[in-house]
């Protein structure tokens, strides 16, 4: 660990000296160093004070200030053109077969959320005891509470950007919990099924359509 730390400091010092004493020829040569190589680390970013953020903590703070402002924009609770409230519909409980069908179409290569629980683990657990996920999902919908509200945010480089020293050259990717995505997938399919059954979408809408499947339950 001490050797790696010493090598890292020596590389940073050499690169800083190379940038300070750069010439047009050496600068264009440096831009080609990363071509064809995959990098798992974010390069130094510019802070608001004009200095470089080189440590993991400083880079994290720069990206956090860019993606998650401390004072969010106000969102009104209602708008003047909101439709009138409709009677509450009854909820048909989620069945074990419904979870099995949606799990079978879920990719095992999907990146997990903060808990590191993948779709493969959910498939194993549901096959071992189908009642656990069924009871959990029904309780979440009945109580109106989404338990999986945390995500792992990963910054991804935007392609064809001139300056990668600024935080706006990155876009955040949220890795949500697979358990929460499974519940959302089930509810989304029910909504699409009702939209197709009751012809809620206009004929000009070609997307977000699904074929009516009698075996799939829907709300009464």
- Give pLDDT tens digits for 180-210: 999 999 999 998 888 888 888 887 776 666 6
Q: Are 192 and 210 in contact (CB under 8 A)?
A: yes
Beta-bridge mates of residue 174: 153
Beta-bridge mates of residue 176: 151
| Per-residue model confidence (pLDDT) at position 32 | 62
Helix 178-197 with 96-104: angle, nearest 10 deg: 100
The strand ranges marked E within the chain are 45-46, 52-53, 151-157, 170-176
Element housing 12 (H / E): helix 2-20
Confidence band, pLDDT 50/70/90 cuts, at residue 121 = very high
Kindly give the pairing relationship between strand 170-176 and strand 151-157: antiparallel
Structural domain spans, the chain: 56-68+91-201+208-220
For the chain, how big is the Rg over CA atoms in Å?
A: 25
pTM: 0.70
Residue 35 has pLDDT above 60, yes or no: no
């Amino acid at each position: 660990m001490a050797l790696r730390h010493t090598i890292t400091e020596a590389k940073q010092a050499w690169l800083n000296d190379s940038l300070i004493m750069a010439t047009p020829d050496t600068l264009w040569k440096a831009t080609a160093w990363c071509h064809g190589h995959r990098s798992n680390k974010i390069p130094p970013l510019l802070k608001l004070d004009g200095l470089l953020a080189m440590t993991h903590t400083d880079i994290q703070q720069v990206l956090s200030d860019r993606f998650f402002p401390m004072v969010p924009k106000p969102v009104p609770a209602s708008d003047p053109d909101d439709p009138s409230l409709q009677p509450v519909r009854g909820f048909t409980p989620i069945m074990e077969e419904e979870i099995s069908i949606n799990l079978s179409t879920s990719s095992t290569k999907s990146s997990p959320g903060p808990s590191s629980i993948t779709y493969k683990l959910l498939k194993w657990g549901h096959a071992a005891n189908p009642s656990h996920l069924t009871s959990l999902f029904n309780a979440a919908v009945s109580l109106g509470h989404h338990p999986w509200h945390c995500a792992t945010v990963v910054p991804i480089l935007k392609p064809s950007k001139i300056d990668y020293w600024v935080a706006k050259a990155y876009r955040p990717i949220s890795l949500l919990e697979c358990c929460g995505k499974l519940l959302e997938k089930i509810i989304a399919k029910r909504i699409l099924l009702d939209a197709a059954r009751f012809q809620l979408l206009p004929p000009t809408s070609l997307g977000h359509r699904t074929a009516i499947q009698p075996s799939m339950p829907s709300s009464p």
